[in-house]
């Protein structure tokens, strides 16, 4: 009986993992491409081994609204904001999500706040060992954004939005 339970538990776990993977694959294929401008990071954290520390300008722009809209719990809040997209799909902060309908040039983006810092999808970009110099001119993060606002970082871009 125990082995049957173990097999069922394994099958459920594998099914959930595969469901999650399939969802991410769908997001990579059909998610809206959005570019977020990188914000300055402590130079000591910029390149550490095989990854680059990331912060985004949109988080800096949204931080005052987040502080004003939240109680002390905002230090560990999760939520969504509305970003406006320009002709090149570069996102800029518009407002915190209040449930109102989005315009044609707007997109929802999920964020999380940890220790008072707003973060999107990830705070690091990992790359192959020995290729750090390739990413020194990074100015934008490229994301695939789902309709619900989930973000997947798919790459870094230079000042002209060219892939690195």
Measured distance CA(153)–CA(63) in Å, rounded = 21
| Structure-token match 């776990």, residue found | 13
Q: Residue 114: CB partners within 8 Å, gap ≥ 6?
A: 76
Residue 43 — very low, low, confident or very high, per pLDDT cuts 50/70/90? Answer: very low
| Structure-token match 């099914």, residue found | 15
pLDDT reading at 5 higher than 90: no
pLDDT reading at 130 higher than 60: yes
Cβ atoms < 10 Å from Cβ of 49: 9
Q: What is the pLDDT of residue 71?
A: 54
Structure tokens at 56: 């985004």
**Can you give the residue ranges of every domain in the chain?**
1-30, 32-157
Task: State CA 15 to chain mean position distance.
Answer: 25
Q: What is the pLDDT of residue 40?
A: 65
Residue 68 — very low, low, confident or very high, per pLDDT cuts 50/70/90? Answer: low
Over residues 117-139, the mean pLDDT reads 83
The pTM score is 0.74
Cβ atoms < 10 Å from Cβ of 30: 10
Nearest by Cα to 90 from 149, 53, 56, 140 = 140
**Which segment, 20-24, 102-106, 114-118, is predicted with the most confidence on average?**
102-106
Give percent of the chain above pLDDT 70: 84
pLDDT reading at 100 higher than 50: yes
Give percent of the chain above pLDDT 90: 29
- The dihedral built from the CA positions of residue 95, 62, 24 and 132, taken in this order, carries a sign that is positive
Contact 60, 72 (CB under 8 A): no
Phi/psi for 50 (5° steps) reads: -105, 30
**Which segment, 2-16, 43-57, 121-135, 143-157, is predicted with the most confidence on average?**
143-157
Structure tokens at 125: 């970009």
Nearest by Cα to 160 from 142, 130, 143, 139 = 139
Over residues 120-128, the mean pLDDT reads 82
């Amino acid at each position: 009986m125990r082995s049957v339970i173990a097999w069922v538990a394994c099958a459920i776990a594998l099914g959930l993992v595969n469901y999650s993977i399939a969802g991410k694959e769908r997001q990579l294929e059909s998610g809206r491409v959005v570019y977020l401008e990188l914000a300055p990071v402590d130079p000591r954290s910029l390149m550490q081994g095989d990854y680059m520390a990331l912060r985004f300008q949109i988080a800096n722009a949204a931080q005052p609204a987040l502080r004003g809209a939240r109680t002390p719990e905002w230090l560990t809040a999760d939520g969504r904001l509305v970003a406006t997209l320009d002709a090149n799909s570069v996102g800029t902060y518009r407002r915190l999500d209040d449930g109102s309908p989005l315009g044609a040039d707007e997109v929802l983006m999920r964020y999380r706040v940890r220790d008072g810092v707003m973060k999107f999808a990830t705070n690091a970009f990992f790359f192959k060992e020995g290729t750090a110099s390739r990413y020194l001119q990074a100015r934008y993060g490229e994301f695939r954004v789902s309709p619900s606002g989930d973000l997947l970082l798919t790459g870094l871009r230079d000042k002209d939005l060219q892939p690195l």
